[in-house]
Structure 1
Amino acid sequence: MQKMFAPERRQIILEKLNKHQRVTVKELSREINVSEATLRMDLTKMEEDGLLQRTHGGAISIQNTDPETSFFTREKKNKSEKSAIAKKALELIADGQCIMLDASSTALELARILKEKSIRLTVVTSGINTALELHEHPDMTVILLGGIVKRGSYSLEGSLGIQILKQINIDLMFTSANGFSFEAGLTDFSVYEVELKKAMVHAAKKVVALLDHSKINKNSIASFASLDEIDILITDYAMPDSELKALKGQNIEVLIAPTDE
C-alpha cells in the first residue's frame, strides 16, 4: 500500500468526524493501515490546532462538545489583534464598492466596524453572523450566499452559493484562515467550507488575507487560496525581512496592523 502523508491522514480523520462525530484509534488504524502510535500523534496535533477534542482511545468532533464552542472560542481568541487587523482593513474600503466577507471571526470584527460607518456598500458574505450584523445598515445591500448550515457552525458550506458569485462583480474579498504558509497559502480545517471559499476567491478582483500572528507559518487540512491568488496580507505579526521579501516576490502587499500591546 502506498504511504499516506500526514495531511492525507488528517483529512480522512476530519471527514470521519464530520460524518460520525467520533473516531477511535483502533478503527482508524484498521481502516487506513497506519500504526496507532502515528494516529495518536495526528490526533494530538489536530487537537492543538483546534480541529477536534481528544478522548480516551480516540477523538470527538469539537461541534459535538458544545454547539457554540467552535465559533465563539475562535472569536474570543486574539481579539485585540483581530480588531487592529479589521481597522487596518477598513482603510482599503471605499464608498460604492462591492466587498465580500467570509465567515471568519476576523471578518465579523470588520463587519462590526463597518456597521458604525456612514458608507454605501454591497456586502456579499458566507457568514450568518456577519449578515445579521450589517443587514439593518441603511446604505448597505447585504447578500448572504446560499449553502448548508451545519450544527455548531455559523458559516455556509458547499456549492449552492457558487451560482450567485457568477452574477456579481466583487472588488475586494476579505478572508481569514486557520493557517497560512508559503507552501500551501491559505488553509482551513473544513473541507466542505473550503469548497465555497475557493469559489469566493476566484470571484473577487482582489483577495485580502486577514491573519493574526497565530495563523502565520501554520498549515491546516485543505488549501483554498495559493500565494498567487492573494493580493494583500494584513497581520499583527512582526514578519522577518526574509519573509517580507518572499511575499513581495509573489506580488503580495503586506500591511502591518499596530496593536496596543
Structure 2
Amino acid sequence: MTETERHRVMLEVLKDRPFATVRDLQAVIDASPATIRRDIAKLHATGSVRKVFGGIAAAEAANPFDRVTARPFTENQMLGVAAKKAIALEAAALVHDGDALIIHGGSTCYLFALLLAERNVRIFTNSMPLAATLWQNGTCHLSLAGGELYREPGILFSPQSSRPEFFASKFFLGAQAITPNGMHESHPLVVRETEQLLQRADEVIVLADSRKFGVRARNPMMPLSRVGTLITDDGITDSNHRMLIDAGIRVIIAKPVPDAS
C-alpha cells in the first residue's frame, strides 16, 4: 500500500467516526505503527486531520447524523431495547440443541446469545462483552476469537490471524445499515473480521431492527444474496420488506411487547 493509499484510507475511516487510534488504523492498513505515525504527522501538517494522543481525530466535528451508525457497543445497548429483545426471541427460536453457532459482536446479538447461555449449543464469538457474560452466567460450550481487544466495537481481532477452525450451521450477526446494495458497517475492522467468518458458516441470519434501513454506513460488508434470513421489528416499511423478499431473503417480523412497568 502506497503512502497516498494509506492517507486515503485514514481519511475514509474518519468520515464515519471522530477518532481512531494507531491500533485501529493498523487493523485496516498494512503498515507498521511507526509508518502510521509518520502518515498522521503529514496529514496533520496539511490540516486534513488533527494529531491527538494515541491517534488522529477529524479536522472538524462531523454532523451527528453521519455518526449515528458508529456508536460504541455500550451506547448501542441503550437504543431500541424493546425491538432488539423481540428480535432476540425470534432468533432463539431458530436454534436447536446441538447446533454450532457463530455469533458476532453487537447489542442485538448480545441479547440473543444471553437466551442461549444454558442451552446445549456450541458458540464461537468475537464479542468480548458477550464472552465475559457467558463465562460468568452460562453453561454452553464457548470458543473465542483470538487477538487484541478493540474497545469501540467490543470485538477481539488479530490482523495476522487466519480464519478460525470453527464451522457453524448458522452465523448470527447485525448490520449498521441495510440498503439494496447489501449490508454495510461503519467500522472497517468489523467488515474484515466478518469476511473471515462468512466462510465458516452455512446460513447467515441477520438481526437488525428497522432503524437500520435508510441510514448510512460507508463500508460494504456483504450483498443481500448472502443473507438467508433477516429478523427485524414491525417498524419496517413495506418497501424495505419487499426489497428483502425480492432478494430471496426469508424475513421474520418480531413484534415488540410493551414494558409492563
- When normalised by structure 1's length, the TM-score is 0.74
Contact 2:234/2:255, CA 8 A, preserved across alignment: no
> 2: CA distance between counterparts of 1:178 and 1:8?
20
Checking the alignment, whether the CA contact within 8 Å between 1:162 and 1:196 is kept in structure 2 is no
- CA positional deviation for 1:95: 0.4
Partner of 1:75: 77
Partner of 1:44: 63
Gaps of 5+ in 2: 1-8, 25-39, 50-58
Shift of 1:100: 0.9
Query: Aligned residue for 1:181?
Result: 179
Question: CA–CA distance in 1 between the matches of 2:65 and 2:160?
Answer: 29
Q: Write out aligned runs for 1:1-261 (5 A).
A: 10-11=12-13, 13=15, 17-19=19-21, 27-28=47-48, 43-44=62-63, 47-49=66-68, 51=70, 70-115=72-117, 117=118, 119-135=119-135, 139-164=139-164, 167-183=165-181, 185-261=182-258
Question: Could you tell me whether the CA contact under 8 Å between 1:111 and 1:133 is conserved in 2?
Answer: no
For the residue of structure 2 that corresponds to 1:43, the secondary structure is: coil
Deviation of 1:85 (Å): 0.6
- 2: CA distance, partners of 1:71 / 1:251: 30
Q: Give the root-mean-square deviation of aligned CA atoms.
A: 3.2
The alignment covers a number of residue pairs equal to: 223
Match of 2:6 in 1: none
Tell me, in whole angstroms, the C-alpha distance in 1 between the residues paired with 2:91 and 2:73. Answer: 21
Deviations 1:192-245 (A, max 9, x none): 222011211232111111111211122312122211111111011433444333
Q: Which amino acid aligns with 2:231?
A: I
2:116–2:140 CA contact under 8 A, matched in 1: no
Structure 2: distance between partners of 1:92 and 1:203: 19
Change (3 A) 1:239 1:71: closer
Q: What TM-score comes out, normalization by structure 2 length?
A: 0.74
Percent of residue pairs bearing the same amino acid type: 19
| Contact 1:100 1:170 (8 Å CA) reproduced | yes
Is 1:208–1:232's contact at 8 Å kept on the other side of the alignment? yes
State the 1:108 CA deviation: 0.8
Residue 135 of structure 1 and its aligned partner are, at CA, apart by 2.8
Amino acid at match of 2:63: T
Shift of 1:131: 1.3
